[in-house]
Amino acid sequence: MRLLSQLPIDELSTKTVIVRLGFNVPIDKDGHIIDNFRIKSALPTLKLLSEHAKQVIIFSHIGRGRDETLAPVAHELQRDFTGLHFTQWRDLQPALQEHRLILVENIRQDPRETSRDIKDREALVEDILRLVGRDQSIFVQDAFSVCHRRHASIVDLPRFLLSYAGLLLEQEVKQLTEAINPPEPSLFILGGAKFATKEPLIRKFLKTYDKIFIAGAIANEFFKERGYEIGRSLVYDAKIPHDILYNKRVVLPNQVLVADADGHTIYISPDNLMPDMRIVDVVLPQDLLKVNANDVSYMLWNGPLGYYEGGYTKGTESLLNILSKSKVEAITGGGDTLATIGESNRPIFTYISVGGGAMLKFLQDGQLPGIEALN
């Protein structure tokens, strides 16, 4: 994999760079950006290219609907890049004649971007290259958050141009590769929902992590499979294999916060639930950051610990408090996880991945289609 960081700066001065960035940020109903973490994470690559490349054309997407727009992102970027021009895909050609730094509107507005037919995706790539040109163009992939997708701007563009991994993508691969084989003692905290989708990762990490703490709705599935009453708790119908369900490295909460039908809450043991109760948060074991009396040196965390959308954040707050007082190397990532920890707590972590699904997929497989395409 070629790295942008290893490309001599003087070579950039003659190149037009097509760069794929991950600007899929949350937008409120008034069109304002709720969290600009992904934008900030892309700035090092964008600044390098804008300062040294002959011309830079940025492709990205936002949301899921084809009518969603990158306009709020363009507005924010124009504060740091006064010469940035935002244009519709159909107006790219005239923009290329007048501007050095161009952000193209949501690439997913073109249905060929996400088509399962490779001929459709290649036709989109051909249209892009017909406008931009091939001879002095290179491609930079820095949208780690979508590198698990087989889309035109992720897996097909690199096949037509000399391609490089951007600064963010390089860092993501470095940090998450370490997370696959962590230093000892190590702890993996897994929250969120749906054991079935997480089973391959759990099984893999039972071989490399000293302890796996299960929280969130996934913990409810473990409780159910162990025969506990789980009341109205969120649960899916996955069957948990015995070798995982009772594995000595798997740690479950021994206290949970439950709410009854009237919203009253109480902390109880998970094996004491009544049918009208719902688990909404977890209590962290006091020795969570210890393995055989030794302090954990490396921790990876993904997924909410409780029902954070409903305001149940005590478990997460406890974890953040523990981490703030420890020397553990802490890695996290995923949009839901970021939403639970809040911006003020981000300095606690050694590294925060921009990926959610991409992060979990890389941890599971050690590779992603968008990264493999660069090879």
Mean pLDDT, 10 residues at a time, the chain of 375 residues: 95 96 93 93 97 97 90 96 93 94 97 96 96 94 97 97 98 97 95 91 96 96 94 88 96 95 91 93 93 92 90 91 92 84 90 93 96 95
| Sequence-ordered strand ranges (E) for the chain | 16-20, 55-59, 84-87, 101-104, 137-141, 163-165, 186-190, 211-214, 250-251, 256-259, 265-268, 278-282, 290-291, 294-295, 298-302, 329-333, 351-353
Question: All domains of the chain, ordered by start, with CATH?
Answer: 4-170 (3.40.50.1260), 181-364 (3.40.50.1260)
Query: What local confidence, expressed as pLDDT, does residue 64 receive?
Result: 84
Query: What local confidence, expressed as pLDDT, does residue 340 receive?
Result: 82
φ, ψ for residue 320, nearest 5 deg: -65, -40
Three-class DSSP category at 279: strand
Three-class DSSP category at 20: strand
107: its two tokens = 């690439």
Distances (CA, A) of 255 to 138, 160, 195, 315: 54, 55, 20, 11
**Single pTM value for the model:** 0.93
Interatomic CA distance for residues 55 and 132, integer angstroms: 10
What lies within 8 Å, CB to CB, of 372 at 6+ separation is 155
Closest CA to 106 of 48, 146, 137, 53: 146
Query: What local confidence, expressed as pLDDT, does residue 95 receive?
Result: 94
Query: What local confidence, expressed as pLDDT, does residue 292 receive?
Result: 86
Task: Centre a 10 Å sphere on the Cβ of residue 177 and count the other Cβ atoms it contains.
Answer: 12
Interatomic CA distance for residues 112 and 122, integer angstroms: 8
308: its two tokens = 């954070």
Amino acid occupying residue 69 = T
Closest CA to 337 of 70, 76, 37: 37
